[in-house]
């Protein structure tokens, strides 16, 4: 293999285990999985967005065609022929059924509690999945779910509906497939190796790929946690692509010929309020915190030209995102003090917050919390911050729910699928079973989210999700702070064939070098 035919990609954190349905490594792991594994449908990575914040188009991938019933409860997938997993196993209807038994059939010997939990919002409504013939699979849902196909495209939800070899599931068991879970993608897992920045992964070209082999021979995903080290590696030609460059001098990169696209990925950096905390369980305190944080100054000082303040819990790149959503919490320290006084908060109140020092798309948590602490101190609240060094360990801790004594936690996440609001805020997904890590329980919001999820008309569904978002921003169980506008990815001038769509990962199947 020639090194000049290897794409080298800098990540901001190490790659978690490669087993898409049961991985919780963040978008960095999803960025690898996008190359190695495929779902029945996927984002169209080769169609540029029609407008600034337009969501991706969903197209068949391992399915050749999809029939959806008018009530969005019945889906029939015709599979592509002559597709094989990297270990030689055939893609057929039985392989699809086995993969979904792993995620949603407790009676199956191949059921994984972890995969089921990670994918619960996407597969929880599946009543029945069966093979109609060797190349046709039928899904029946208990309720209408018009976002069922879009949710399939989420490579790190966490978890994923990307398919792995049935041979591997049978051989290693439902929970033993880490790094030995062959997919059907244009690249195959070759090896994991250690670097100074953590665990890296090398992929090799799949010469037998059903849609034709890629032009490049291999991809290395290299963790480089320090931002300036990632920039230096890109500038010096040590890597061809780098992620998570928000906060660097983008204009300098552009002046040197690098491609730093401006786009609208479904990304939020946000705070999660612990509803069991005696102080932040009071909505006036949460609103005071929101008014006390100068989000615009934070963006301008730490990430000039690359992030912008978030005004909505529905991110850009999601179907119901409203670019003109009302700014409910302008910077207003006087109002923040009044709200704290009305809630009876004593001067000098100490709030404990947890986060990760770095990790997948984490921007710079330490610097962000310094700005937040400065702003809160100005209204009489002291912030005590505990940052964990290991990102994956933090994620696993975070999903268990906020512990006693912790008022807030932070997370960087979101989806190009509106049902994400349910995933992180519906009471049925309350930690530790789901990802409602602040224990939010709002029957009104639950009803709104359930109605939105099952509404068939796109325009009506969008309106309902926007109403639910307004409820979220009014009651404030989470506080969205910033979203990415530029710098999530940058490419060397020698990289061609990569179309930027509004997603947090890319498809390198058509990449070439000049």
Closest CA relative to residue 244, chosen from 411, 361, 366: 361
Among 408, 412, 447, 406, residue whose Cα is nearest residue 426 = 447
DSSP 8-state symbol, 494? T
Domain with CATH 3.40.190.10 in the chain: 6-223+488-513
Kindly give the residue spans of alpha helices, DSSP state H, lying in 360-455. Answer: 365-377, 391-398, 420-425, 443-454
* Overall fold of domain 6-223+488-513: D-Maltodextrin-Binding Protein; domain 2 (3.40.190)
Per-residue confidence band for 484, with pLDDT thresholds at 50, 70 and 90:
very high
Backbone torsions φ then ψ of 188, nearest 5 degrees = -120, 150
Through-space distance between the first and last CA atoms of the chain, rounded to whole angstroms:
18
Of the pLDDT bands very low, low, confident and very high (cuts 50, 70, 90), residue 52 is confident
Checking if the pLDDT of 260 tops 70, the result is: yes
Q: Quick check: 25 pLDDT over 80? A: no
The answer to whether residue 3 scores a pLDDT higher than 70 is: no
Give, for 58, the enclosing helix (H) or strand (E): strand 58-60
Taking the complete model, does pTM exceed 0.75, yes or no? yes
**Once rounded to an integer, what is the mean pLDDT over residues 197-216?**
97
Per-residue pLDDT band for 2 (boundaries 50, 70, 90) equals: low
- The mean pLDDT value for 345-355 works out to 97
CA dist 191 and 181 (Å) reads 13
d(CA 466, CA 13): 33
**Residues contacting 311, CB < 8 A, separation 6+:** 325, 326, 327, 328, 473, 480
pLDDT of amino acid 433: 87
Q: What is the mean pLDDT of residues 225-234?
A: 97
Tell me which residue of 466, 398, 401, 507 sits closest to 7, measured CA to CA: 507
Q: Outline which parts of the chain fall under CATH 3.10.105.10.
A: 268-484
**Thinking of the domain 268-484, which architecture would CATH place it in?**
Roll (3.10)
Q: Which of 148, 170, 15, 171 is nearest to 77 (CA)?
A: 148
Name residues whose C-beta falls within 8 Å of residue 276's C-beta, 6 or more positions apart in sequence: 402, 404, 439
């Amino acid at each position: 293999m020639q090194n000049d035919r290897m794409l080298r990609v800098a990540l901001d954190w190490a790659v978690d285990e490669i087993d898409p349905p049961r991985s919780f490594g963040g978008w960095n792991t999803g960025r690898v999985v996008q190359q190695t594994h495929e779902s029945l449908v996927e984002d169209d990575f080769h169609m540029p967005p029609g407008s600034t914040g337009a969501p991706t188009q969903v197209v068949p991938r391992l399915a050749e065609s999809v029939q959806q019933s008018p009530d969005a409860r019945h889906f029939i997938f015709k599979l592509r022929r002559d597709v094989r997993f990297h270990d030689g196993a055939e893609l057929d209807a039985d392989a699809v059924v086995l993969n979904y038994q792993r995620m949603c059939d407790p009676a199956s010997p191949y059921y994984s509690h972890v995969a089921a939990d990670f994918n619960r919002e996407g597969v929880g409504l599946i009543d029945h999945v069966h093979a109609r013939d060797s190349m046709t699979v039928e899904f029946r849902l208990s309720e209408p779910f018009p976002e069922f196909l879009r949710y399939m495209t989420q490579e790190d939800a966490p978890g994923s509906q990307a398919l792995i070899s049935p041979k591997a599931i049978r051989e290693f068991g439902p929970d033993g497939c880490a790094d030995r879970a062959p997919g059907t993608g244009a690249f195959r897992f070759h090896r994991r190796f250690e670097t100074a920045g953590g665990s890296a992964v090398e992929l090799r070209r799949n010469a037998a790929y059903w849609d034709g082999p890629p032009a490049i021979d291999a991809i290395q995903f290299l963790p480089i946690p320090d931002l300036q080290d990632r920039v230096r590696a890109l500038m010096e030609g040590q890597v061809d692509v780098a992620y998570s460059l928000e906060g660097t001098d983008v204009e300098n990169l552009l002046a040197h010929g690098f491609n730093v696209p401006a786009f609208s990925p479904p990304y939020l950096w946000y705070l999660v309020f612990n509803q069991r905390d005696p102080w932040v369980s009071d909505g006036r305190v949460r609103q005071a915190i929101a008014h006390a944080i100068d989000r615009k100054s934070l963006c301008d000082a730490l990430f000039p030209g690359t992030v912008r303040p978030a005004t909505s819990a529905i991110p850009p790149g999601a179907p119901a995102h409203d670019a003109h959503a009302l700014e409910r919490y302008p910077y207003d320290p006087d109002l923040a003090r009044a709200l704290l006084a009305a809630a009876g908060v004593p001067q000098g109140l100490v709030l404990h917050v947890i986060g990760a020092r770095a990790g997948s798309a984490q921007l710079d948590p330490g610097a962000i919390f310094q700005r937040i602490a400065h702003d809160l101190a100005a209204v009489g609240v002291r912030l005590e911050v505990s940052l964990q060094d290991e990102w994956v360990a933090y994620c696993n801790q975070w999903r268990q729910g906020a512990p006693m004594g912790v008022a807030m936690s932070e997370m960087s996440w979101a989806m190009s699928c509106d049902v994400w609001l349910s995933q992180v805020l519906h009471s049925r997904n309350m930690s530790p079973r789901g990802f409602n890590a602040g224990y939010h329980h709002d029957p009104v919001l639950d009803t709104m989210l359930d109605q939105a999820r099952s509404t068939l008309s796109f325009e009506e569904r969008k309106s309902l999700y926007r109403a639910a978002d307004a409820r979220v921003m009014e009651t404030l169980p989470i506080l969205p702070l910033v979203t990415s506008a530029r710098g999530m990815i940058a490419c060397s001038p020698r990289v061609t064939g990569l179309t930027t769509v509004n997603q947090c990962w890319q498809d390198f199947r058509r990449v070439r070098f000049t």
